[in-house]
Structure 1
């Protein structure tokens, strides 16, 4: 591991390392890039998990608590044959919860005429947009459909005819109590999956960048009389792409835009090579040994 981190440092700045890098095998270059991709994936997943997992758990707890506390006491909903009826023939209103929405979001929704998070009104089928506007809600449950806000408009989802269910506050509380344990099981799975996807994506992406950067390096080398095989420059590119990987990792961790931009990554890869090989200097040509003097012939 110590040797790997030394290689990472040398891949960013070490002219002596770049003097011998072309002699390394292509397999060594691929192995190094794979190790670098694993490191980047590990750091990104750990940092993002530490940042977002507590937020997810907190929000899930808040939402489940709101579902239980805001469900109207005494409301019993019976779903059968594509329709729903309630224990009392009246409308039930659930206000926008400030625990979920920011004040700016609440103000924006109210400007759009939205006052409620959900409205349950099963006295009639949903038949017109007037019902949607009068509900002033993000979600409306009518006798035959669920209507939801959709990009300034709404979409209608008819209730399935094969759904047979009776829902009351006790049932809702039971469902809510099961959500957190499920989330605690799902989150580690998502983290592991995210690590695998991040690693594979990183490795494939920067392999492509290295292939393109190596082609540019090969052409520049020919122009400045530093000939070499494309395979040698590809091995070098697998190392000089290191700084591009670390820059993109920084952008991802801090949520900045333009992470993994191809043009920037290739440019960084090429510039790192140019600086380390000191492209502005003429290559030293081997000095030929002077011819041995002819032996003197004595008279």
Structure 2
């Protein structure tokens, strides 16, 4: 992954895995034709207000998408240890990277409370134990995707002779996009990430005023830079990605508004901006034409 040129920002979208295949294929191919640099899927077993509505396995959807697109990067935003075991996930990731010809990005996060966390049984983890589990999840995922054979014994995950053959197309492994807001997560991003990901206030995304949200994003970018300096990682080596649909309301209500939002993100130090693809109603609802016009305007204004 190379960073955009000064003034450039990569633009992407998030498509929820809720559509039947014909519509899914049309959406992703349209995003590629539009010229977006990347597109992503939420990786949940079910999600919040959409729990009782159609929702397909995101990794299976991305496998299919990989075969009907040619250029656009694709990934999870984000996979978590709530219900994903690193050994199984790594095999799926390796496969999608092969199917896509080396376009896959593994987005990872610690996992929030809720249905995904309860899916496999057991009680809710404390924040500290959730951070411990995430550290182990990322560490093992890195080992699995770099090596042909991995044996690992941890507190939360273990695997014996896990084989990754032929391995990822991208070497030494697929890029990681690490979602993090706290110091331990930022440390993982600095150590393992090719991207760092934020949605602003992870506890209550979209609740803060826009003014407070911009201040929070600025503090997070500063914290990442400080973490990189402490760990010896070059800040410029890590892409900084923000999902503005989780930060501000109606981000693409007009081309001018979206261009202004992307510009503010660039000025804060972000290299990548994503927005949720419009749904017909409810969460992330919007007009397809508004989305297309706004994305086209931003692509023209901030071409990397």
TM-score, normalized by the shorter chain, greater than 0.5: no
Higher percent of residues as helix? 1
| Shorter-chain TM-score tier | under 0.3
Tell which structure's C-alpha radius of gyration is larger. 1
TM-score by length of 1: 0.18
TM-score by length of 2: 0.18
